Amino acid sequence: MDNQFEFFMPTKICFEAGISKKVDKYISGKNVLIISDPFLYQSGVAKQIGEGMSGKNVAYFSDVEPNPSCESVDKAAEVARAINADCVIGLGGGSALDISKIVSCLVTNEGSIYDYYSGGSRTLSKRQATLVCIPTTAGTGSEVTNVGVYTNKKAGIKMPMVNNEFWPDYSIIDCELTYTLPAPVTASTGMDAFCHAIEAYWNKASQPICDMLAIGAMKLILDNIKTAYSEPTNKEARAAMIKASLIAGIAFSQTRTTGIHALSFPLTTEFGANHGTACSITLPAFIKISGQQAEAKMKALTDYLGFESLEKFSEAIEELMKGMNMPVRLHQIGVKETDLEHITEVGLGAAIIQLTPAEMNKETVYKLLKSIL
C-alpha cells in the first residue's frame, strides 16, 4: 500500500442549526452579492440572510438555472463588478454555489468565463473577494470543493473547472435550510452525496483520510435518507443528511469523482436528467464491477455496511432508489439503445472516468450502459 498522500482543505466549516441567520459575523467587507436560485429569492430566504447583515450594501442575483450556463455566470459577474463586491455568498444547491465560486474571482478578473474555462487562454489571478457558501440541499458537497461545473452552451457540453481560488473561505452548514426540500430533491441530492462518497472510496487516487470520511458518510446516508425522504420535518434525519453530504464532499474534494460522474454529464445535458439522478442511475451497475480492481476495499466496505456481497449491495441500492421513486433504468429518462454509443464516447472524454476501479474503454462502458437500459 502506498503510504504517501496529501490532504488540503483551506475552508472553515461552521455547522449549526440556524447559523445562516448569523452569517454577518464572517463578513468583513461592505459590498455583498448573494447568488441564489429563483425559489430562494422569491420565497424570501435570500433576503432574510441579506437583511441580517447590518451596515452592508447587499445585492442579489437569482437568475440561476440547473446546470448553470456560462451566460448565467457572466450575468452574475456583471452585477458583482457593478457593486464592486468584496464578498460573494452562494446560497442554494450546487448551481448557485458553483456560480458563486467563479463570480468571486471574476470581480477582479476581466472578461468572460469563456476566457478562463474549457480551452480559454487566460488564467484566473488570486481571488480578492471573500467567498461564503451556504448549501440548502444535502447533496452536492460543492461548499467544500475547489470544483465548479458549468455548461458551455456554445459547444453543448457540461464540464468541471478545477481551481484553488474556488475553495470557499467559509462553508456555513445550516440543516434548517433543508427542512422544506421536496421529497424528490431529498432523494436525488442524497444519492448524489452517496455517489460522492463511494467514488472517493473506490477511487484510484483514494487515500486513508478520505476512505474513513467516505465510509462514515455512506453509513449516515443509508441510515437516514429514507427517513428524510418520507418524514421531511425529522430534524435528526435532516441534520444527518447534510452532515453526510458535507463529509462526502470533503472526501471527494481530494480524490475527484469517477465513471459515475463522467457518464452523468451527457445524461444531464442531453437527456435533461437532474444531476443526482444522472449519477445514481449508473451507481448499482458500477458497484457490481468495482471489485475488478478494488476487491479487498469493496469487501471491507460491504462487510462494514452489512451486505453479503457486491451483488447484494448493488441490489439494495437499486431497491432504495425504487422506494424513493427514482429511475433505475436509462429508458426511464429517455435514453434509447441508439444513444448508448454517443453517451459512451462523451463519458470516455472525461479524464475522471479512468479513476474508476475497473477497465473503462468503449466496450466495457457500452456494456455497462446496455445492462441498465
- Give residues with Cβ within 8 angstroms of 119, minimum separation 6: none
Fold of 180-371: Dehydroquinate synthase-like, alpha domain (1.20.1090)
Q: What is the pLDDT of residue 1?
A: 45
**What is the mean pLDDT of the segment spanning 311-319?**
98
Are 271 and 335 in contact by the 8 Å Cβ rule? The answer is yes
Show the 3-state SS of 149-160. Answer: EEEECCCCEEEE
Q: What is the pLDDT of residue 121?
A: 86
Condensed to tens digits (0 to 9), the pLDDT of residues 7-44 reads 999 999 999 999 999 999 999 889 999 999 999 999 99
pLDDT band for 109, please (50, 70, 90 cuts): very high
- CATH top-level class of 12-177: alpha beta
pLDDT averaged over every residue in the chain:
96
Q: How far is CA 371 from CA 30, 193, 354, 363, in A?
A: 55, 24, 20, 12
pLDDT over 60 (residue 62): yes
- Give residues with Cβ within 8 angstroms of 68, minimum separation 6: 95, 98, 99, 149, 150, 151
Condensed to tens digits (0 to 9), the pLDDT of residues 356-366 reads 999 999 999 99
pLDDT over 90 (residue 198): yes
pLDDT over 90 (residue 185): yes
Domain layout of the chain by residue ranges: 12-177, 180-371
Q: Beta strand pairing status for 147-152 and 157-162? A: antiparallel
Q: What is the distance between the alpha carbons of residues 174 and 137, in angstroms, rounded to a whole number? A: 10
Amino acid at 172: I
Residue 281's φ and ψ, nearest 5 degrees, are -65, -30
Q: What is the distance between the alpha carbons of residues 128 and 348, in angstroms, rounded to a whole number? A: 36
The long-range contacts involving 231-236, CB below 8 angstroms and separated by at least 24 positions, are 232/179, 232/180, 232/181, 232/183, 232/186, 233/179, 235/17, 235/175, 235/179
- State the Cα torsion 67-73-74-79 to the nearest 10°: 140
What is the 8-class DSSP label of residue 322?
H
Q: What is the distance between the alpha carbons of residues 364 and 347, in angstroms, rounded to a whole number? A: 12
pLDDT over 80 (residue 354): yes
**What is the mean pLDDT of the segment spanning 326-332?**
98
pLDDT-above-70 percentage for the chain: 99
Residue-by-residue DSSP string for 254-299? HH---HHHHHHHHHHHTT---HHHHHHTTHHHHHHHTHHHHHHHHH
Q: What is the pLDDT of residue 2?
A: 58
- How large is the greatest C-alpha to C-alpha distance in the chain, in angstroms? 60
User: Would you call 35 helix, strand, or coil by DSSP?
Assistant: strand
Condensed to tens digits (0 to 9), the pLDDT of residues 275-309 reads 999 999 999 999 999 999 999 999 999 999 999 99
Residue 46 half-sphere exposure, CB side, CA atoms within 13 Å? 26
